[in-house]
């Protein structure tokens, strides 16, 4: 390497600046200061940290996927329209005929597109906190300001505080995860209605965990003047696929669609989605099985010394460990036993809390046995 190499600039002392030095003066300061979204990389042991469906797909569905993939030409770009997938998604997930649809590479991408479409630099994105961290991160990525409105001590929505913050900050976008991640609660419909009435901009009702809850806003997705409904297939067994959808009034969806990178849903994702949705009953049965296991696991956790479990409408439980060992120590002890759950060391509101995804009955039994041992 020498200073004459293209892209190399001499430092004050004459030596070439390193890549780290060049990056540090070029990358946005707020990005330099950010920690990347943490994705676990351990793939052994019992994985209860990412709200994945622990059940694989049966052979009949895997065979259908293999056939669909084999029949998919990879040399062509994805088509400009996804008519067949649109009909399949509408039928499978109850998207009303008069709602417009936008597909994303996971719902993460759609969160990002919404912020980009609505927010000029300095505009406000608002959500209760703690909630899904990508609401905050997406806002920062796109030069918007994030305002988090704390939940109550019992992790309930603080509606008066939400309404006051909406009046004070006039957010362009309000994100409501319903049920909420990581607390698991589902905000009451009348509280959401009050937020819709107060919000001057768009409200995104993020129903990532709806398959494990009672109730949905999806039937109203076309008729609300300032709301859209966001969903993902990640929690019902297809987290590896990266597919989410946004349903809402056409005038909103058409604008957000302008920012979508062309071909964001690739041909294999489309083919696999179509194949799997012909067997949607399999996904429904697995979601129902997980949901049915939730109360039992909650009871077993709550019976452990010093553990309180927050009521959940999702495929995970938030448990607080306030006994002799705090949440972080329990997290570490589980980790040494290769049981992965999620801790929140950086968030004071979630001190001593662990988020535990629902798993198989064997995984629940192994978790409870390990916790009994750890908590003595
Ligand atoms: N919304 C919420 C509330 C989530 O918890 C998550 C995933 N943790 C997502 C959206 C993103 O899901 P995906 O990108 O896998 O569709």
The model's pLDDT over 149-202, given as tens digits with 9 standing for 90+, comes to 999 999 999 999 999 999 999 999 999 999 999 999 999 999 999 999 999 999
pTM here is 0.95
What number is the average pLDDT over the span 122-138? 97
pLDDT value of residue 11: 72
pLDDT value of residue 12: 75
Residues 356, 316: Cα–Cα separation, whole Å: 5
Distance from the alpha carbon of residue 230 to the mean position of ligand 1, in angstroms: 9
Q: How confident is the model at residue 7 (pLDDT cuts 50, 70, 90)?
A: low
Q: How many CB atoms lie within 10 A of CB 360?
A: 14
pLDDT in tens, 305-318: 999 999 999 999 99
Q: What is the dihedral of CA 15, 17, 19, 23, to 10 degrees?
A: 170
Distance from the alpha carbon of residue 232 to the mean position of ligand 1, in angstroms: 7
What number is the average pLDDT over the span 282-293? 98
Distance from the alpha carbon of residue 7 to the mean position of ligand 1, in angstroms: 38
What ligand 1 atom has the least distance to the C-alpha of 243? 16
pLDDT value of residue 2: 46
Pairing mode, strands 342-343 and 353-357: antiparallel
Tokens representing 205 are 């009702």
Residues 228, 249: Cα–Cα separation, whole Å: 7
pLDDT value of residue 5: 59
Distance from the alpha carbon of residue 245 to the mean position of ligand 1, in angstroms: 11
pLDDT value of residue 193: 98
Query: Using CA of residue 25, residue 30, residue 34, residue 36, what is the dihedral sign?
Result: negative
Q: DSSP characters for 348-359?
A: GGGTTEEEEE--
pLDDT value of residue 34: 85
What ligand 1 atom has the least distance to the C-alpha of 235? 15
Distance from the alpha carbon of residue 212 to the mean position of ligand 1, in angstroms: 14
Distance from the alpha carbon of residue 154 to the mean position of ligand 1, in angstroms: 23
Distance from the alpha carbon of residue 176 to the mean position of ligand 1, in angstroms: 12
pLDDT value of residue 328: 95
> Could you check whether 46-55+281-375 and 69-279 share the same CATH topology?
no
What number is the average pLDDT over the span 274-282? 98
CATH fold group of domain 69-279: 3.40.640
CATH of domain 46-55+281-375: 3.90.1150.10
Residue whose token pair is 């972080």 = 328
What number is the average pLDDT over the span 268-288? 98
What ligand 1 atom has the least distance to the C-alpha of 233? 16
Tokens representing 357 are 């995804």
Residues 253, 247: Cα–Cα separation, whole Å: 7
Beta strands (DSSP E) in the chain are 46-47, 100-104, 124-129, 145-150, 173-177, 202-206, 227-232, 244-248, 307-310, 316-321, 339-340, 342-343, 353-357
What ligand 1 atom has the least distance to the C-alpha of 111? 10
Q: How confident is the model at residue 36 (pLDDT cuts 50, 70, 90)?
A: confident
Q: Which residues pair with 206 in a beta bridge?
A: 177, 230
pLDDT in tens, 209-234: 999 999 999 999 999 999 999 999 99
What number is the average pLDDT over the span 346-356? 96
Secondary structure in 3-state letters for 169-213: HCCCEEEEECCCCCCCCCCCHHHHHHHHHHCCCEEEEECCCHHHC
What ligand 1 atom has the least distance to the C-alpha of 107? 16
pLDDT value of residue 9: 66
Q: How confident is the model at residue 3 (pLDDT cuts 50, 70, 90)?
A: very low
Ligand 1 pocket test target in 107, 209, 212, 357 with most atoms within 8 Å of CB: 107
Looking at every residue in the chain, the average pLDDT score rounds to 95
Q: Give the 3-state secondary structure of residue 241.
A: coil
Do 115 and 175 touch, CB atoms closer than 8 A? no
What number is the average pLDDT over the span 38-51? 84
pLDDT value of residue 39: 73
Tokens representing 214 are 């009672």
Residues 26, 121: Cα–Cα separation, whole Å: 19
Ligand 1 pocket test target in 109, 110, 132, 315 with most atoms within 8 Å of CB: 132
Q: How confident is the model at residue 6 (pLDDT cuts 50, 70, 90)?
A: low
Distance from the alpha carbon of residue 287 to the mean position of ligand 1, in angstroms: 16
Give residue limits of the domains in the chain.
Answer: 46-55+281-375, 69-279
Q: How confident is the model at residue 1 (pLDDT cuts 50, 70, 90)?
A: very low
Q: How confident is the model at residue 132 (pLDDT cuts 50, 70, 90)?
A: very high
What ligand 1 atom has the least distance to the C-alpha of 232? 16
What ligand 1 atom has the least distance to the C-alpha of 104? 16
What are all long-range contacts of 342-347, with beta carbons under 8 Å and residues at least 24 apart? 342/49, 342/50, 342/182, 344/130, 344/182, 347/130
Q: Is the pLDDT of residue 8 over 70?
A: no
Distance from the alpha carbon of residue 208 to the mean position of ligand 1, in angstroms: 6
10 Å CB burial of residue 210 (0-12, 13-18, 19+) is buried
Cα of first residue to Cα of last residue in the chain, in angstroms, is 59
User: Which residues contact ligand 1 via a Cβ below 6 A?
Assistant: 106-108, 132, 177, 181, 206, 208, 232, 234, 239, 244
């Amino acid at each position: 390497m020498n200073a004459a190499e293209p892209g190399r600039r001499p430092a004050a002392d004459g030596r070439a600046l390193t890549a780290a030095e060049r990056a540090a003066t070029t990358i946005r300061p707020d990005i330099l200061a950010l920690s990347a979204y943490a994705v676990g990389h351990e793939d052994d042991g019992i994985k209860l940290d990412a709200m994945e469906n622990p059940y694989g797909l049966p052979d009949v569905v895997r065979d259908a996927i293999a056939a669909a993939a084999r029949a998919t030409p990879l040399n062509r770009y994805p088509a400009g329209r996804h008519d067949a997938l649109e009909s399949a998604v509408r039928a499978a997930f109850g998207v009303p005929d008069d709602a417009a649809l936008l597909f994303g590479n996971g719902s993460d991408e759609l969160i990002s597109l919404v912020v980009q479409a609505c927010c000029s630099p300095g505009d406000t994105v608002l959500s209760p906190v703690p909630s899904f961290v990508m609401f905050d991160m997406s806002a920062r990525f796109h030069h918007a300001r994030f305002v988090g409105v704390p939940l109550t001590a019992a992790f309930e929505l603080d509606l008066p505080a939400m309404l006051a913050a909406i009046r004070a900050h006039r957010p362009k976008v309000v994100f409501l995860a319903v049920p909420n991640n990581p607390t698991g609660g589902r905000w009451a419909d009348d509280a959401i209605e009050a937020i819709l009435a107060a919000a001057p901009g768009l409200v995104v009702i993020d129903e990532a965990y709806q398959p494990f809850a009672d109730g949905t806003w999806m039937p109203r997705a076309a008729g609300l003047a300032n709301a859209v409904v966001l969903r993902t297939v990640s929690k019902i067994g297809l987290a590896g696929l990266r597919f989410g959808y946004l349903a809402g009034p056409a005038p909103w969806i058409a604008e957000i669609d302008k920012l979508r990178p062309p071909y964001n849903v690739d041909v294999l994702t489309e083919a696999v989605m179509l194949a799997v949705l012909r067997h949607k009953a399999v996904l429904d049965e697995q979601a129902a099985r997980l949901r049915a296991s939730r109360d039992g696991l909650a009871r077993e956790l709550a019976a452990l010394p010093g553990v309180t479990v927050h009521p959940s409408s999702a495929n995970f439980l938030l448990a607080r460990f306030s006994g002799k060992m705090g949440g972080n120590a329990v997290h570490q002890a589980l980790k040494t036993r290769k049981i992965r759950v999620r801790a929140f060391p950086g968030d004071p509101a979630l001190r001593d809390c662990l988020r535990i995804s629902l798993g198989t009955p064997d995984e629940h039994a192994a978790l409870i046995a390990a916790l009994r041992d750890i908590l003595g």
